[in-house]
Amino acid sequence: MNCQSILKLHFVIIFALCSANFCFAYEIELQKESDSSNQEKKYAPPAFTTLQIGNLQSTTMADKKDLHLVVAHRFGSIRGGIKELFGLDQANTKIQLLYGISNRLQLGVSRDSYEKTYSGTVKLKCLQQSDKTPFNLVLYSSVDVNTLLSNKTYPGLLFFDRFAYTTQLLVSRRFSEKLSLEIAPIYVRQNLINLNYTMTTFANPQSPRDFFSEPWNQYLLAIGGKYKLTKGLFVNVDYAYNFSKKQNSLYKNPLTIGASIETFGHAFQLFFSNARGSNDSSFLTETRGDWSKGDISFGFNVVRVF
């Protein structure tokens, strides 16, 4: 990783730390104001009851000392038909552990068979919706390490070329008992761009830089929401628009539509998505399926709380 990449990584880390300090300082100031006026703040119920909307993170976090085991499956494209059992013959699996250090801080580790990716995550609650605060605000960051990359494919591969970093600012609001919505500005840093997909984008490149159709630094805006159908049954949708993606890119914006079934101690999420990866950097910037062509996959998340 060159000096410019190191500087950009330092910038992301400093930005995340400054955001966290701002969140804590702002919350402390609000608490002081509440104490001085002798008024007890009335918090709204959580906007979401699951840690993820579909693929997108929600503002919900693990409670203090709670351990969440997440098993996520992403199958192949349904376009494979009955020969591939509509994608069920192929599967990517992610095993994740999430732990609530406090009611404001959550840490996680995972391993995803997609690109044999190891990930570390941190989630920090900054604000909670109440009669004085109209929304929830959560800072989420993850580091993904792609161990599938080989020096045979990339002779000059360096250790940090395997890394990708994602920072998300999650803002949600519970509008009613049935409806909750979320918006999330997102920054993704890919230390290595997959040349198998970028070098075929331009038939007649004007310069060597034209080969790299996708930038290393990408900026997205995601939206998501849930709607309650019956007790314990919800419809979930999330979508992310990539402002940095080139017009003729082979990658697509990820769209996930599904349902969640919630019971005591368990949550089941069933959905269809054009994304095969479930780690943050992959599903946000490396989605290849096309909803308009029926190139979508079935997937599910199962969560058990200890």
Predicted confidence (pLDDT) per residue in 62-92, tens digit: 999 999 999 998 888 888 778 777 777 788 8
Specify if 55 maps to a domain.
yes
Most confident of 26-35, 197-206, 277-286: 277-286
Determine if residue 59 is left, alpha or beta; phi over 0 gives left, psi from -120 to 50 gives alpha, anything else beta. Answer: alpha
156-175 pLDDT per residue, tens: 778 888 899 999 999 999 99
Rounded CA-CA distance 220/168 in Å is 9
Specify if 152 maps to a domain.
yes
What pLDDT, on the 0 to 100 scale, is given for residue 194? 56
What pLDDT, on the 0 to 100 scale, is given for residue 203? 41
One-letter amino acid for residue 2 of the chain: N
What pLDDT, on the 0 to 100 scale, is given for residue 78? 82
Tokens 């269809």 found at: 272
Share of residues in the chain with pLDDT > 70 (%): 78
Higher pLDDT, 202 or 102: 102
Task: Give the domain range for residue 220.
Answer: 43-305
Specify if 16 maps to a domain.
no
> By mean pLDDT, which of 51-60, 94-103, 199-208 is the weakest?
199-208
Rounded CA-CA distance 121/108 in Å is 5
91-100 pLDDT per residue, tens: 889 999 999 9
Rounded CA-CA distance 59/135 in Å is 10
Give me the CATH number covering residue 99: 2.40.160.40
Specify if 202 maps to a domain.
yes
Does the pLDDT at position 23 exceed 60?
no
Average pLDDT, the chain: 81
Specify if 27 maps to a domain.
no
What pLDDT, on the 0 to 100 scale, is given for residue 10? 45
Specify if 1 maps to a domain.
no
Query: Are the beta carbons of 103 and 12 closer than 8 angstroms?
Result: no
Burial of 250 (0-12, 13-18, 19+ CB in 10 A): middle
210-264 pLDDT per residue, tens: 444 567 889 999 999 999 998 888 999 999 999 988 877 888 999 999 998 877 6
Q: What are phi and psi of 216, to 5 degrees?
A: -70, -35
**Tokens at residue 149, please?**
């990359």
Number of domains, the chain:
1
What pLDDT, on the 0 to 100 scale, is given for residue 1? 47
| Per-residue DSSP letter, 187 | E
Specify if 35 maps to a domain.
no
Q: Which of 260, 238, 280 is CA-nearest to residue 108?
A: 280
Specify if 60 maps to a domain.
yes
Q: How confident is the model at residue 47 (pLDDT cuts 50, 70, 90)?
A: very high
List 224's β-bridge partners, or say none.
182, 238
Q: How confident is the model at residue 57 (pLDDT cuts 50, 70, 90)?
A: very high
Does the pLDDT at position 25 exceed 90?
no
Mean pLDDT of 110-116: 90
